[in-house]
Amino acid sequence: MALAQALQIVSKTDPGRVRSHNEDCVESRPELGIVVLADGMGGYNAGEVASGMATSLIAEGLGGEWKIKELGKLDRSQTMSLCEKVVRAQIARANTAIFEAAQKDPQCAGMGTTLVVGVFYDNYLAVAHIGDSRLYRMRGDVLEQVTRDHSLLQEQIDSGLITKEDARLSHNKNLVTKALGIDPEVEPEFHIYETQPGDVYLLCSDGLNDMIEDEEIQMTLIALRSNLELTAQQLIQSANDNGGRDNVSVIMVKVLSSFAVERGWLARLKSLFS
């Protein structure tokens, strides 16, 4: 089934209750199963510049380079490794562009952005991320955090210095250890996961998970599961009701049906004439 029919995608972004402008950016290309979310940082409007460049460059770049119509000849593992190559190349390209823009324009000096990219294809989801924006997966009634933050706090949790429960009380929540556009090169974390019909994926900026607990995210996804649009709206509203101290963005992707790629001679024949 075509990706656009198999996936329902809703994205929303909100400046929150405190900040005067929105440094988050979201983009999606439903026909290609591509979603991109970025949370920018930097003085003046530089955060917006960085996140805007990241989402538009990567969505556009993948739109050009991730040619799903031409993948029919490849087997599954070949498409997976090609996907990784293409995604990494586009992230590297965006990184260079942001880094160079920051070098040229003093107002943009030091700008950078977090990033989560999701590519849905052939019943799998490829995820690349940098920084503390997250991807969660809701399967059945279980919400799981798929990405691990590149943050000082996560490193402290990993080293055993602080427990996950105590981490909620930390004052060091805002420090990321990796960002796009800060250095000439960046190494995104990349993984591939199998998807199942019924899965709901949530990409979010830290404005969501810093303001509301995972339990509340899970409760909202369960209670409003039949209405994805309202779920996204409710998550943002909860973050704002709890203070809305940061910009808050979500992209939600619901897998409505299988989107396995047809292989075999008939599919090949069809693709020849399409």
Partner 1 sequence: MAKIILSVDGTVLKEVPLTKERITIGRKPHNDIPVDNLAVSGEHAAIITILNDSFIEDLNSTNGTLVNGKPIKKHFLQHNDVIEIGKHKLKYFNDAPAAAASADFEKTMIIRKPSAAPAAPAPAPAAPAAPAAPAAAPLADTQSMKPAAATPTPPTAPAPAPASPAPGGSGREGAIQVLSGAAAGRTLDLTKNLTTIGKPGTQVAVITRRPTGYFITHVEGASFPTLNGSPLGPQAHQLNDHDLIEIAGVKMEFFYKP
Q: Give long-range contacts, CB 8 A cutoff, 24+ apart: 49-53.
A: 49/101, 49/108, 49/111, 50/98, 50/102, 50/108, 50/111, 50/112, 50/113, 50/180, 50/181, 51/23, 51/24, 51/25, 51/113, 52/25, 53/94, 53/97, 53/98, 53/101, 53/113, 53/181
- Laid out side by side, the sheet with 248-255 consists of 7-14, 248-255, 200-204, 134-139, 142-145
Count of residues near partner 1 by CB under 8 A: 55
Q: Considering the rule CB under 8 A, would residue 17 count as an interface residue with partner 1?
A: yes
Q: At its nearest, how many Å lie between partner 1 and the CB of residue 132?
A: 7
Q: At its nearest, how many Å lie between partner 1 and the CB of residue 238?
A: 7
Among 3, 83, 119, 179, binds partner 1 (CB under 8 A): 179
Among 55, 147, 240, 249, binds partner 1 (CB under 8 A): 240
Q: Considering the rule CB under 8 A, would residue 110 count as an interface residue with partner 1?
A: yes
Among 41, 58, 251, 252, binds partner 1 (CB under 8 A): 41
Among 100, 144, 241, 262, binds partner 1 (CB under 8 A): 241
Q: Considering the rule CB under 8 A, would residue 145 count as an interface residue with partner 1?
A: no
Q: Considering the rule CB under 8 A, would residue 238 count as an interface residue with partner 1?
A: yes
Among 145, 177, 218, 271, binds partner 1 (CB under 8 A): 177
Q: At its nearest, how many Å lie between partner 1 and the CB of residue 184?
A: 13
Q: DSSP for 4-65? A: HHHEEEEEEEE-TTT-SS--EEEEEEGGGTEEEEEEEE-TTTHHHHHHHHHHHHHHHHHHHH
Residues forming contacts to partner 1 in the complex (CB under 8 A) are: 15, 17-20, 39, 41-44, 47, 110-112, 114, 131-132, 152, 155-156, 158-163, 166, 169-179, 182, 206, 216, 219-220, 223-224, 226-227, 230, 234, 237-238, 240-241, 245-246
